[in-house]
Amino acid sequence: MKKLELVSLLKFAGPRVYLLDHLPRMDQLKSDDAPTRALTKFEATALNPLRTKKDLVIKDEGNSIQMMGAVRAQKNCLDCHNVHRGALLGAFSYVLKRVQRSR
C-alpha cells in the first residue's frame, strides 16, 4: 500500500482529504489545524457512486490501483453525527502499487 488517506465529507464546505503521515486521531479531526487537500480527479469521480450506496470504487491502471471505500454511519456513530444509519460520513482513499516479484 502506497497511500491511505481519510476523506472528510461533513466538516468542511466541500470534501477534503486529510494530509497526515498517519490516519488522523479524533482530536485531530475536531481541530481546524490538520492539513487537508482537495480531491483528486479519481476521488471526485468515485464520490458519486459511494453516495448512491456503492461501497467501493476501483480504478486499475497498470502498476497502480486506486480505490475509494465508503465510511458509513453505524449505530455508535449516531450519537455524534446527526445522520441516519448507513449515511455516508466519509471515505478512505487508497493507492496500491504492484510489486514485481523476482523469481
Separation between Cα atoms, residue 43 and residue 57, nearest integer Å: 9
In-domain check, residue 28: yes
Residues of the chain below pLDDT 50: none
Determine how many CB atoms are found less than 10 A away from the CB of residue 70. Answer: 23
Beta strands in 1-73 (DSSP E): 3-8, 16-18, 36-37, 56-61, 64-72
Number of domains in the chain: 1
In-domain check, residue 15: yes
Per-residue pLDDT, 98: 86
Q: Are 95 and 82 in contact (CB under 8 A)?
A: no
In-domain check, residue 19: yes
Domain of residue 72, residue span: 3-97
Half-sphere exposure of 34 (CA within 13 A, CB side): 23
In-domain check, residue 102: no
Per-residue pLDDT, 67: 97
In-domain check, residue 34: yes
Per-residue pLDDT, 93: 96
In-domain check, residue 103: no
DSSP for residue 85: T
Per-residue pLDDT, 58: 97
